[in-house]
Amino acid sequence: MRILGIEGTAWAASAAVFETDDPDALSTETYRTPDPSADHVFIESNPYQPESGGIHPREAAEHMGNAIPEVVDTALAHAADRHDGDGPIVDGVAFSRGPGLGPCLRIVGTAARAVAQTLGVPLLGVNHMVAHLEIGRYQSGFESPVCLNASGANAHLLGYHNGRYRVLGETMDTGVGNSIDKFTRHVGWTHPGGPKVEQAAKDGSYVDLPYVVKGMDFSFSGIMSAAKQEADAGTPVEDICVGLQETIFAMLTEVAERALSLTGTDELVLGGGVGQNARLREMLAEMCEQRGAKFHAPEPRFLRDNAGMIAVLGARMLNSGDALSVEESSVDPNFRPDQVAVTWRGADES
Ligand code: ATP
């Protein structure tokens, strides 16, 4: 099976081709791939880089309008090279249906419908946040992990129960990456701010900032206001970066641990662009080690937004007959992970 994936929820115009001849990689009974290093996944991406400020929806959509056709062409050329003659060059087209910026999603949806109809193959509408989770499950071979999605526009913990990924806990305001980016914009750094905070924190000392966890939920707005006030008061920005990392990641680690404990699960996967941060991975790995749980962080190209995760989940959805008609394929900027019926897992899995 060979699947084209298209991603473009916010900043990454990305197209990928996932292919496998291994039935276990797609089966509802087992969830293994013989080579999780994902040689099976070809990804072509073109990121949107704002000239100033954060992601501007209109500019991001303009970027998608130009870049999506280019990355799709490249991915389809790759698929054509690997095609041996009969039938369409891909067996299905998977696309990010949401959540994300509406104007960007509509371009992705239009491109996916056009390619699927031209090739006469099924259309697979993928939830972007579930894809962040499933790529970790695919690579690790974990059966039923709790997933910490630490991305730009989102932050939540997901666990599987009765046919859906349930939101066990989430941010009560902004996504984790977006809140870090708001601070870095305040101090005049270009987008994205997360990698710059990680770099600056190497030269800083800890500054105390508000720590807000309420049960399984958490909030970043107070910590961001406090961080901005520290910067305005002249506290070295490197020190604030250490405080931000230690505080925010401790909050995420605490709720991840609580989710593992409450669900009785001993598997944790990480998803989302903030997951590229070495200090976050270190804290989560240490917590898992202390409680005897397994931890998996996908390689960076599968953590940040990418079409590879869309293609991999699309393949599993196609394998379980979970395709969309064009009429029902509208995008959904607020598509929550718990709205998705998880058709690709075995019916006996709870
Ligand atoms: P979502 O997946 O929720 O739609 P998104 O589209 O914004 O979010 P992601 O690719 O998951 O995108 O994550 C991008 C975010 O990751 C940005 O906010 C960026 O600052 C942050 N980020 C990237 N690298 C790092 C890092 N090393 N440390 C901390 N944050 C990082």
- Residues 234-258 have pLDDT tens digits of 999 999 999 999 999 999 999 999 9
Going from the Cα of 120 to the center of ligand 1, the distance in angstroms, rounded, reads: 35
Tokens describing residue 321: 């007959």
Condensed to tens digits (0 to 9), the pLDDT of residues 96-144 reads 999 999 999 999 999 999 999 999 999 999 999 999 999 999 888 898 9
Query: CA 86 from chain center: how many Å?
Result: 34
What pLDDT is attached to residue 331?
98
Mean pLDDT (whole number) for 203-218: 97
Ligand 1 pocket mutation pick from 97, 108, 191, 305 by most atoms within 8 angstroms of CB: 305
Within a domain: residue 236?
yes
Whole-number Å distance, alpha carbon 267 to ligand 1 midpoint, is 23
- The pLDDT of 143-161, averaged and rounded, is 95
Residues 44 and 174 in one domain: no
Is the residue at 349 inside a domain? no
Among 111, 18, 26, 99, smallest CA distance to 64 is for: 111
Ligand 1 pocket mutation pick from 46, 274, 283, 335 by most atoms within 8 angstroms of CB = 274
Residue 345 is assigned to a structural domain of this protein: no
- In-domain check, residue 174: yes
Residue-wise pLDDT for 69-84, tens only, equals: 999 999 999 999 988 8
79 and 100 co-located in one domain = yes
How many degrees, rounded to 5, is the angle at CA 167 between CA 99 and CA 300? 60
Q: How many domains does the chain have?
A: 2
Task: Indicate whether residue 127 lines ligand 1 (CB < 6 A).
Answer: no
Tell me the chain's radius of gyration from C-alpha atoms: 20
DSSP, res 192: P
pLDDT mean across residues, the chain: 93
Tell me what percent of the residues of the chain surpass a pLDDT of 90: 84
Tokens 């940040």, located at residue: 304
Q: Are residue 192 and residue 118 in the same domain, yes or no? A: no
Q: Output the domain CATH number for residue 287.
A: 3.30.420.40
Q: Does the interface ipTM go beyond 0.95?
A: yes
pLDDT at residue 51 above 90? no
**347 belongs to a structural domain:** no
Is residue 344 in some structural domain?
A: no
Mean pLDDT calculated for residue range 285-295: 98
pTM assigned to the model: 0.93
Q: Is the CB of 306 under 6 A from ligand 1?
A: no
45 and 99 together in one domain: yes
Q: Which domain holds residue 173?
A: 143-301
Do 113 and 171 fall into the same domain?
Answer: no
